[in-house]
Amino acid sequence: MSGFDPSWLDLREPVDHRSLAAGPLERLTATFGGAPVSVADLGAGSGSALRALAPRLGRSQRWTLIDSDPALLAHARLRLRAWADAVEGDGETLRLNKAGATIHVAFLAEELARDHFPQAAAAADLVVASAFFDLAGEAWLAAFIERLAAAQNTLYAPLIYDGLKRFAPAHDLDQAVLVAFNDHQRSEKGLGPALGPDAARRLAELAGAQGYRATAAASPWRLGAADRSLTEALVRGMASAAAQLPAAPDALPKWQAFRLGAAAGGGAVGHVDLLLTPPGS
């Protein structure tokens, strides 16, 4: 169990998909065109990236979903079975048909703290890691980039949290809670003290030092009244993370009560999408 609730991943999926930035996505589609492609998805969760990207890739795809949490991978199997037009397979591997594409999916329960870059990633044409790198620390990221560069893989890393959150209407404690939440984002998440809001910048720098080209663009969640459930979950998550810190604002419960009451006002959460392509590609 990684601490990522399947219901949280389900709630954010439609907002994640509509928030993906056009630039990196268009370059990704242009790079792989309609050719057969193999993809390794690191920290795949319930398979959201597959459902976002498969319609933009060719008619023959092989995906390996890699995550440390077997319960999330089980959820991914269920979600993919429901999403596909037709399914074959025993659950260990699936053969999906979706809108004319054939998509083979394998599931790998792997702790990326132990193995930064599983063989399935080295062997893939494309490595994907969505909403993942802000969990990683500097040393882990540096080692990961070395392995990525050795394999000369392309990396698509959308939805890296950039430290900005805004709610409407504003509350006096918004900034103090955000500072506490962002401090929590920099704590240990299993891959060393996490880079949190600095992760996208460091990822691009480390890859640039290996000759990689970065296509970067902002991919904020823009939340409105229809996203009220997600905003409520976001507020609860922020308050619970901020409460774990000694410097948590005393009035956190009041802030949470106000924010939950005003959740229909929505807000925004900042992210960065990165496409990193190896030298010469």
Indicate whether 60 belongs to the interface with ligand SAM (CB under 6 A): no
Task: For the segment 218-277, give every residue that binds ligand SAM (CB under 6 A).
Answer: none
181 binds ligand SAM, rule: CB under 6 A: no
**The only residue of 19, 24, 37, 45 in contact with ligand SAM, by rule CB under 6 A:** 45
User: CB–CB of 106/93 below 8 Å?
Assistant: yes
If the CB atoms of residues 16 and 174 are measured against ligand SAM, the closer one turns out to be: 16
What's the min distance (Å) between Cβ of 83 and ligand SAM? 14
Residues whose CB falls within 8 Å of the CB of residue 66, separated by 6 or more in sequence, listed in order: 40, 41, 42, 43, 44, 108, 110, 112, 118, 120, 121
- The smaller minimum CB distance to ligand SAM, of residues 49 and 176, is found at 49
Does 54 bind ligand SAM (CB under 6 A)? Our answer is no
Is residue 130 within the footprint of ligand SAM (CB under 6 A)?
yes
C-alpha distance across the termini of the chain, in Å: 38
Pattern 10-29, binding to ligand SAM, x per CB under 6 A?
Answer: ------x-------------
Among 77-85, 130-138, 142-150, 207-215, the segment contacting ligand SAM (CB under 6 A): 130-138
Is residue 16 within 8 A of residue 52, CB to CB? The reply is yes
- Smallest distance, ligand SAM to C-beta of residue 241, A: 13
111 binds ligand SAM (CB under 6 A): yes
Residues 64-103 interacting with ligand SAM (rule: CB under 6 A):
67-69, 72
Interacting residue ranges for ligand SAM, rule: CB under 6 A: 2, 4, 9, 16, 43-45, 48-49, 67-69, 72, 111-113, 130-132, 135, 190-191
